[in-house]
Amino acid sequence: MLQCIVFSLLILQGLARLVRNPRVFTGLALAIAIFVPVVAPHLWASGMADGLWLPIRGLFNGNPDRGVQALFPLFPWIAFPAFGAFLGGLYRHLRVMPVEGQARWSEARFLAGLAILGALLLAWGTSAQESWLWGGTWIQQNGVWMLQSRTGAFTYSELGAIANTTLPSVAARLGWILLAGVLMGAVELIRPRWTGPNPIKAASAESLLLYMLHLNLLFSVLLAPAVIGLTGWGWGSLGWTGTLLLTAAVIGLNLWAGIAWQKVRQTPDLMRSLQHKAVAALGIWCVLGGWWTVRHFLQSPELAKEPYAFLNAARARKGLPPTPDGLCRDPEEYFREAGRRKLHLSPEAKADITRLIQARSGGTR
């Protein structure tokens, strides 16, 4: 995600400095937010950007190439910060720039407008997403079936890859974001009546801390092989109830950390001391922490989702046949090892894993 954040901000910052007119920039940001998901599906077609230098290639789409794939390419993900830039310009015009000493809109009116816009985007995106992607006519060309639709002409496998890149899909998620933002804005309107720290303001001011904290909590702790072996908690193993409870716990811990760090900031010497100790601890963990991953996948190479160099050697030790990248090609092989490890997988998780493994077989070069 970081390369998407960095390049999105660089592009928008460069555009702002080039244009230097807030209203023009606001309009251009909205145009980017609409244009990108219109063209994004075409950039996810098979073979697009293949062969480019990998760091650059990953900005265009998330199709696998040379054993790696980008999780958040600029297409369509730059649409979200671009839409945020548009909202910032809109807020500036309606709430910051005064007319006869007053803002054009009140905060409550602005939030109500966002709520209406969010509901419309969510309703249209949700209702149009399926027909936008799948509506059309199947035509066979040179032995290959392709769906001719308003999105473009795509094969069946390509349609699955571009499902989250279409304009309705992006619109629906923007709708959810707007409604969530309205909820937080409404909380802030009544916040002066409450006592105690402000978790929303702390989360906003300490967003980078919370970003890094939740990633390390999820991937370095909860999904560490040793923790999975003890708890049996893997991808999709908790069901909806367990997942929502764990999500609430992670959010609560992050909000507490944001509030606590705001208090620490009031004592600069203590803050710097803790920062130095944390950097030292992270440095040690980066050197030694990977051992748990190596140990886990040496014992269970069937469960690996990334092509580590030692996987085929580990498969040979267990009498398993080699594969081009060391990743398993048989879902039952994965499930047998997951059962031995006492990993509890829901039917949905098993279906997702099966599709992932079968996609590897289809994409073998």
Nearest to 340 by CA among 301, 291, 292: 301
Residue 89's Cβ-side half-sphere holds a number of Cα atoms within 13 Å equal to 19
Q: Would you say 26 and 95 are in contact if contact means Cβ atoms under 8 Å apart?
A: no
pLDDT tens digits, the chain, 365 residues: what are they? Answer: 888 999 999 999 999 999 999 999 999 999 999 999 999 999 998 888 888 888 898 999 999 888 788 889 999 999 999 999 999 999 999 999 999 889 999 999 999 999 999 999 999 999 999 999 898 899 988 888 999 888 888 998 899 889 899 999 999 999 999 999 999 899 888 877 778 888 888 988 999 899 889 988 988 788 876 677 677 777 777 888 888 999 999 999 999 999 999 999 999 999 999 999 989 988 887 777 677 778 888 999 999 988 888 999 999 999 999 999 999 999 999 999 988 888 877 787 888 889 889 888 764 43
Cα gap 350→356, rounded to integer Å: 10
pLDDT of 363 reads 46
What is the phi-psi region of residue 239: left when phi exceeds 0, alpha when psi lies from -120 to 50, beta otherwise? left
Pairing of strands 136-141, 144-149: antiparallel
pLDDT of 193 reads 75
CA distances from 310 to 52, 66, 324, 357 (A): 27, 17, 12, 19
The domain spans of the chain are 1-129+167-194, 291-362
Q: Which helix (H) or strand (E) holds 179?
A: helix 167-190
> Model's pTM, two decimal places?
0.71
Q: Enumerate the β-bridge partners of residue 149.
A: 136
CA distances from 200 to 75, 159, 176, 251 (A): 30, 38, 18, 11
Q: Enumerate the β-bridge partners of residue 257.
A: none
Cα gap 58→174, rounded to integer Å: 23
Residue 170 tokens, joined = 């992006």
CA dihedral over 125, 128, 134, 137, signed as positive or negative: negative
Q: Enumerate the β-bridge partners of residue 144.
A: 141
What one-letter code names the amino acid at 290?
A: G
* Burial letters 173-196, b for 16+ CB under 10 A, else e: bbbebbbebbeebeeeeeeeeeee
pLDDT of 115 reads 97
Residue owning tokens 């469960």: 303
**153: helix, coil or strand?**
strand
203 Cβ contact list (under 8 Å, min separation 6): 210, 254, 255, 258
Q: Would you say 72 and 4 are in contact if contact means Cβ atoms under 8 Å apart?
A: yes
